Amino acid sequence: MRLKLVTATSMLALCLFTAAEGAEINQDGAKTVKETLTKLLPEDWAKSGFITVNPAGTRYEVIYDLAKLIAKTDPATFTIKGLTPFSMFATPLDSGLWNVEGDNKFNVSGHFKGPDQKPTDFTYSIASLVYTGVFDPAISYLRSGTFAAKDIKMSSKSETEEVHATIASMDQKLSSADSAGGNGRVDFAGTGSMSDFVEQVSGLQMPPVEFRAGSIDFEAKVNGLPAKQLRDMVFFVLDHLDEKELSPEDSAKIKGIVKEAFPLLTLFSETIGVHDLTISSEMGKGGAKAFGYNLAIDGPSDAMRFGFGLNAQEISLDTPLMPANYASFMPTNFDFQLAVPNLDFASLGDALMAVDFNAEAPEKSGEEMAKKLFRDGRLAVEFPKISAKSDVYDIDMSGKIEGRVDTEKDYSMEATILARDLDKTIASIQELAKTDPDLNQVSFGIMMVKGFAKTDPDGRSRWDISISRDGAIAVNGQVVKGPDGPDQDQGLESDQEQERDQDQDAVPAPPQQP
């Protein structure tokens, strides 16, 4: 639900106002605002009357009556009750911006039929939704805003599944600033939190499961966003929805907009932190004191880096499915970080500029685009950190794999593995082997691997592993496998082709007619 309130409010305000300097609040102005709001909507939506704009002192009141929008919906397919009008107030500022604010609540219920024609009943309520913000007509988006919702409840029930969810409160903030590089680009930043999240899921094919989180925090940033160009793209698409083919002039126009928009951003990042997470079911209970997720894209357009990560601390698991003697091997902490560097979005953008939007996509277009994005098809995947810790092991790994997007054979790897208290790990596995003899092979294998290890000053065992493109493998500088020989499969295929050719040559010619 990250920034969904921000996005929803902004979409309702899309194209809200085109001029504000010294505007007089009157009925003519209200009519102009309404026309601006409805001009890009489908004709039947615009004529439904679901948007009303009235002068209200020093501001305008915009009323959204969504019940009118769905009045002609087939009740056998979709019905909703309790959908009352909600309003937003907009005040023009001398700067050309608009203050927007609202204080609403929702309490609706109904049912719908999905693509499988199975009915689903639903309810949705928000006891209080209060928001304020500053809207910028130049980019058709909010420059800043604060949003607060309380007592959120959602539920759905079908023949096969039932879901209930509640959130005690949710708060969000949005801010922006002009990018350092200028050119009309904008930096956006958003933060938010929710408290006391509870979700219960049950179904015919699964026992009831409950998810709980004491709190959830999130943060997102996007720098260098071409907000105006993105708005122009949306408007262009809406203006040409009914056209089967673009004219040369329109094709050149949209390419110009896209070219001006590249790069689409210079940085995007988001992090989510879940605190006091618990998952309960008939099979037991588990959770973590903290669970985190992060994603980031940054760097110059011809060498961007994509990063992704997950981590958890103080993991717990209480279930009869986990044998007691294996419980100590359950990780209590883990961290997984992955990155893909040197993504060439600049070349990808140039390739997109050469595309004929009216032509059918060639069969190899995806492969060709991948070679542009990954610099002639070469791919690198970095693992800055992969770690897991339990009562009987403590392992850290980092490394890098390089290869190609069009084959799985041409690759190389450099990795470092660090392990603390390896003797303790071996002893624990040997203890388990008393009841599971198959684990003797595991402990024997770890002891063999230990023989290749170096010892760091902090006492950890270290393995620096190198796998070359020719298949050679070295551990801590010691060669354990030489380069691969000729491709035996390829030689076998050549022999088979020669045999087929000989068989064809040996086929007798058809008899001559007398």
Could you read off the pLDDT tens digit of each residue along the chain, which spans 514 residues? 433 334 444 444 444 444 444 457 899 989 888 887 787 677 788 888 889 999 999 999 999 998 888 887 888 889 999 999 999 999 998 888 999 999 999 999 999 987 777 899 999 999 999 999 999 888 878 999 999 999 999 999 998 899 999 999 999 999 999 998 777 899 999 999 999 999 999 998 888 999 999 999 999 999 999 988 888 888 888 778 778 888 888 888 888 888 888 888 889 999 999 999 999 999 999 999 999 999 999 988 888 999 999 999 999 999 988 888 888 999 999 999 999 999 988 888 777 777 665 666 555 566 777 778 888 788 999 999 999 999 999 999 999 999 988 877 789 999 999 999 999 999 999 999 998 888 899 999 999 999 889 999 999 999 999 999 998 999 999 998 888 876 544 444 444 455 555 544 544 444 444 3
Using alpha carbons only, give the angle 328, 333, 334 rounded to the nearest 5 degrees. Answer: 115
pLDDT at position 4: 39
* C-alpha to C-alpha distance for 116 and 120, rounded to whole angstroms: 11
Contacts 24+ apart (CB under 8 A), 105-114: 105/129, 106/82, 107/82, 108/80, 108/81, 108/82, 108/83, 109/80, 109/81, 109/82, 110/78, 110/79, 110/80, 110/81, 111/78, 111/79, 112/77, 112/78, 112/79, 113/76, 113/77, 113/78
Task: Count other C-beta atoms under 10 Å from residue 459's C-beta.
Answer: 9
Could you give the CA distance from residue 339 to residue 298 in angstroms, rounded to a whole number?
Answer: 11
| pLDDT value at residue 14 | 46
Domain ranges, ordered by start, for the chain: 413-505
Distance separating alpha carbons of residues 388 and 112, to the nearest angstrom? 45
Q: What is the pLDDT of residue 72?
A: 79
Candidates 466, 499, 495, 505; CA nearest to 483 is 466
Which residue is associated with the tokens 């063999």? 448
Q: In Å, how far are 217, 401, 403, 469 from 472, measured between CA atoms?
A: 46, 15, 15, 7
Task: Provide CB contacts within 8 A for 26, sequence distance 6+.
Answer: 55
> Which residues share a beta bridge with 201?
163, 209
What pLDDT score was predicted for residue 351? 77
